[in-house]
Structure 1
Amino acid sequence: MAVQVDDLPLPPDEPEPDPDGAADAEKADILVVDDLPEKLLVFRTVLEELGQNLVLVRSGADALREILQREFAVILLDVNMPGIDGFETATLIRQHRRCRHTPIIFITSYADEMQTARGYSLGAVDYILSPVVPEILRSKVAVFVALYQMRRQVRRQADARAAVMAAQAARRVAEANDRRSAFLAHASRMLSGSLQITVAMNALAGLLVPELATLAVVLLCDADLGAGEMLAASGQAGGAALQLSTGREARLHEQVRGALHDAAHTRQPVRLDPEALAVLTPAAFGLSAAGETFPPLRRAQAVPLVFGERVLGAVLIACSDVGESGAADAGLLEELAARAATAFENARLYLVLQREMLERQAAQEELQRTNRRKDEFLAMMSHELRNPLAPIQTAVQVIRRVAAPHPKVAWALDIAERQLKQLTRLIEELLDVARISQGKIVLKHETLDLNAVIAQSVETVQPFVDGRRQALKVVVPQQPAWLLGDVARLTQVIANLLHNAAKYSPEGTGIELLCWLEEDEAVLSVRDHGIGIDAALLPRIFDLFEQGERGLDRAQGGLGVGLTLARRLTEMHGGRIEAFSEGPDRGSEFRLRLPRVGRVAPATGQALPQETAMAPWREALRILVVDDNHDAATGIAAMLELEGHAVCTAHDGEQALSAATTHRAVVVVLDIGLPLLDGYEVARRMRAQPLLAGALLIALTGYGQSEDRQAAMEAGFDHHFVKPADPQLLLACIRQWSRQQAPGGAGERRPTVNAS
């Protein structure tokens, strides 16, 4: 809201002052309101050069008391004050007739469009951001002081003509302020009308030409916005329509391009010299003259577009008439540049957000492609690995039929069949996961009794449980628990849970399978007393290939797909599966919930534990075989027995150290990945014992990298074989070492034993 001079209050009639007091009588009163003493000191320092009377107060209430006692030429009012803030103080000031039209300049450290509009609605004549520029503040206050003194002088001299001229001058100033405020408000609306950078550039060009300049060039300097893109515009007031031209900055003349980059680099306006002005013609930007002729340009400057610490671009304006400076003053251009920089920053953030969304979308699509390729690979690998299983199974059966009865042959074929079944199970799990991921598994739904499925599942895993000397307790309802599902797949789910419970529980422990009926569900719980599940792993336990941390022994083995398969098959039946554990070594529980098609009462039942045992073999050179895989240890022992050696086996590090001393072994075939103590530590402790210091230590392990071989040598091993090792090479190594220990051999003779 602009203030016009003829609306300014006239001072009350006063007697003519004496000549000695004339100077004091000419001084105007200036009211400064701010709650901070240090800022009042700054205002005093800045304004005391005006030679006027400064009244400094620290609150709105004090300001209201002062305006009741005297009249002020201008009021400088801080917006943010405790108690009565600047806007409330201005409202109260306007309620007094004496100060209804007193010019108010708001001082603030922050102002947005809404706050500025409110200030002008209260009669503010200007808005100055803090910290203030002394020259600007002093000049603006001086204008209003001069206007006030002019009105007082007009009244004193009763010069009607002078009063009219002063009023007209003040009106022009007010109208200019009105035009400035309206222009900036319009500029803000135009620049913020879109988040597209091209639209913002066009809007800025339309604001500059022809209102403020005859020709304008907007150059982008920020990489996110497309550094090097430029827009040129030309036009004249009353001439043809605005002309625009876009392109790269390479089209610009070297001097023009240099001025724009200098402004962006220094963050300060840069004026063009007359030589550079000569090259600023519409034709240089692919534009035609607006009208018959294009007037020569008189002045031009480049202004940076800065938002915070980021330089977004620069704008060059050129004017053909020096008189245009009245509208395009430096302050107005700087404010317009600041608003344009805000609009450009919003457009940049929008572009960055769009780019990030596209990148996330591309990453998601790539992840989907990766998952699809993984599923295809699992399916292909499972099929390819399953192909050799049939001939292996056939070969085992042929050997059973044609080979002469022999305990070792029967034992070897038993091992082959057990390992073949394990390999088949792992491959089937991989294949099933791939099938489910590709949607290729179709359930054969039928009405079934969950008790029958449980019995079939227990039968499937009973040999594995018995082999680990574990007791399986089964409690099921007395009446049938009717479900709608696929018998084979539900058997697979329950057997998988039981197999996991047995695999991750120590030998000789108990496993419980409990089943009961709830309102609409049949619930099956498998509980063990094994290694438990870490809290960090529990939320991911059903993820594909997810397993807990394992040591070198890999005692539990597996691929980490069994639980994933169980969950997906359960979900295909409309059920869900949950995992519970109190932490490591506290056991775990897996609870399966399936929808029922009938209701029966729960009851209890039993299961019968069974035990199995293995006996060691002994033969001639005293050899110790250590492997946590019983079949692997027994197989190597049998092969060495056939050579006439006395062999014993151990299945963990502590057993190995004890057996090596008891058996007085001279050769130790030692696995690296052992429970309790790994093979490296066992080898180091054996080398520290006098009886084993000269023994032949052979590492037989699945860890076959060069660093693994180096670690084995440093631990005291003599040789390093990678599984599956060639039996003949292993035997040749032992025979060579034995020959070296014989009289005349290269090494010291080790004691041997005869076959017994």
Structure 2
Amino acid sequence: MDFVLADAAREPITSPRRGAAPAGRGAREASAEPPPCERARRAVVWILDDSPLEAEMAARSLAAGHEVQVFTDAAVMLERVTSSDLPDVLVLDQVMPGMSGTEICGLLRSRPATVGLPILILTVAGHEQDLVEGLTAGADDYVVKPCPPAALSARVGALLRSKRLRERAERAERVAAVERDLLRALIDQSGDGIMATDERGVLRICNGEAQRQHGVYARDASAAIEALRANGLLALDGRPLRPDEDPLYRAIRGEKVENARWLVTRPDGSIRALAGTASPLRQADGSPAGAVLITRDETDALEAERALRDSEERYRVIISALEEGITLQDERGVIRTANASAERILGRPVAQIVGSTMLDPACRFVREDGSPFPFEMFPAQVALRTGAPQSAVLLGMERQDGSVLWLSVNAQPLRRADGAVAGVVSSFFDITARKRAEEERQSLLAAAQAAREEAEAASHLKDEFLATMSHELRTPLTAVLGWVRMLRTGKLAEDRRDKALETVERNAQAQAQLIDDLLDISRIMAGKLRLEVQPVELVAVLDAALEVVRPAADAKGVRLEPLLEPGVGPVAGDAGRLQQVVWNLLSNAVKFTSRGGLVRIRLERSEPSAEIVVSDTGQGIDPAFLPYVFEQFRQAESGTTRRHGGLGLGLTIVKSLVEMHGGTVQALSDGEGRGATFIVRLPLSAAASHARDRRGMSLPGAGGTDRPPELAGLNVLVVDDEDDTRELLVTMLEQCGSHVTAVASTAEALLALKALRPDVLVSDIAMPGEDGYALIRKIRALPSAGGGRTPAVALTAYARTEDRTRALRAGFNTHVPKPIEPTELLAVLANIAASRGEV
């Protein structure tokens, strides 16, 4: 380490070190300064001593770890001292010619740049008075000469450490001051009222918003607010607020208070409603330090709430006094409010009306012509969907006793501030008596009325829509979409492509069948679903369900293993619903089985039942949860359901459908991680089996080539405006040996009926001009000799139960839904032919 004697009259003194040049000018040149990184790590020490020898000794004592600068002239040193060129420590000899160390110390302490410079005085023994004067003048420490080098180095090191601590404290204080100023600015500018107390409850902070809320603008706002809070706080009901109800007081006691609301009486007598949150403050050691309360003025909001309640009460009274029925529905169409007139008109308690989406779900809603009134065309539903008001819509409610309540309905949409529809208000009058009188008057014009009704029926046909697609359609769509996407890749082998097409066709047919059940599916949980019961071969049902689930299982890497015993025997049931049962169980098993796992389905005969067993190697079920696995509400509200994989509504539907078929379902599991087993038992149907054996034929579309012998030579008249459908029917029937005449309209059908006298009529319903209903009415009006009793089969894409009923009431003998299932149509015609032969 080099140190320089900064005296203009002297040469620098170089400290000896290994490899250094001899003392003198050459030595100074040979001793290069340390690199900047090294200098930055070393403290700068100046030594002022008029004795070069003593200065050199002191410098050598401090050379290790310090950058030392030696001065022998006080004037030179003082000239060097500026705010930009200061040492970290100044070692100052007390006895100096011209100016003593005490005087130099006092001078340095008088300058702002050096007021904090650490100063160490060197004095000699016996000069205690000089020492006292130096310390009094501002020296930080002293050393008595001669002193050991280690002692001098230790004293300098102590001063350096003290300086660093002081600088660190000063920096921390500056940061703290900035943070305090920032916090004070944030508190002052906050839109919330902020008050803080010490641990004794004395208010220490009260910002401008808190003063405004309390109506206090005094210089000593804290004291004024303390007095106000002691006497002017009220509960929302107007009673004085007890001290233990005061949020700030509760927080001082250590309680966290959230969303409190109270009233404050201001000095001018006005009352404001405040809401806020209070929290206790604690020292670092956890001891109480006070509390802070953050408040907001909710006077306007509270007054708005009261005004809203008053307004709602006024409207409630007005609505209750109205003669017409009034209902209010939310944006989902759920009735939230109904008045007393609605109860009187509908004959249902308000409690039963509220919560439903219909005025009376038990009723069948009809149009004026008797056709079903689709739910999506209800005035309230149209207003919700389109935002357009609906006026004077005629709606009939066909009750259980057969009577019809006729209503004139208006619907007005309610809108939010942004224009979005938020609900709908409906009003309705009972016009049953008026309509009955109108019908009686119009009976005098029966002929004209009949023509008008036909025109109206034709007009209304365009307004009818298929029932809303239910979630059940997703089941066959899984297989359809899965196989179609695989087909689009072009990577399937020929046999797999054929299999894919078969699966798509089968599931498309399943979709058509499900359309018939759309209006009934909502009644499953209420036990009101009607089943299409017929003999069902379970092997086919299970195969169909497996095909639905297989794409998902393949994608997940789960192996499906069917073990289906042939010849188990038929059961009496609804094939579509039974397929839904099996699909639900299989999809659950695949869902809760990890990749590489196994799902096995077994069908076997277990007298007097057919037994379907679905087992997996998946995550299993806690035995404690098994008794509740089929319970809907228990599962919906219990965390256990989520913990055990979310067995939910699907299993509830399985249980309902199985029980409707007279069967039972059981869940078994050895515990979590050990798989699960579901066992479905369905009663075998001997009668159904016998009936199936007696028919003993395989029809086109069912995989066979046999044709019903009853159709050979049968004269069939086909009526359908669609060319493709007519061609399909003609080809199908001619392959069975029937004689087929096909026409495209009602007028052509009447001419053909008169000329050909067919054995059976097969007619579409929806046709331009005159529909199938008009055709059958005209045929049934003919005498028997003119074909008036010709057996007739209705074909229609309108496949709901009420559509089937309407076709039968119109005069058709039976009803076959579209898309046409060849097996079903040929069986129907064979039965008609057999009945005709027996007659």
TM > 0.5 fold call: no
Q: TM-score range by the shorter chain?
A: under 0.3
Q: TM-score, normalised by structure 2?
A: 0.21
Which one has the largest radius of gyration?
2
More relative contact order, 1 or 2 (CA 8 Å, 6+ apart): 1
TM-score by length of 1: 0.23
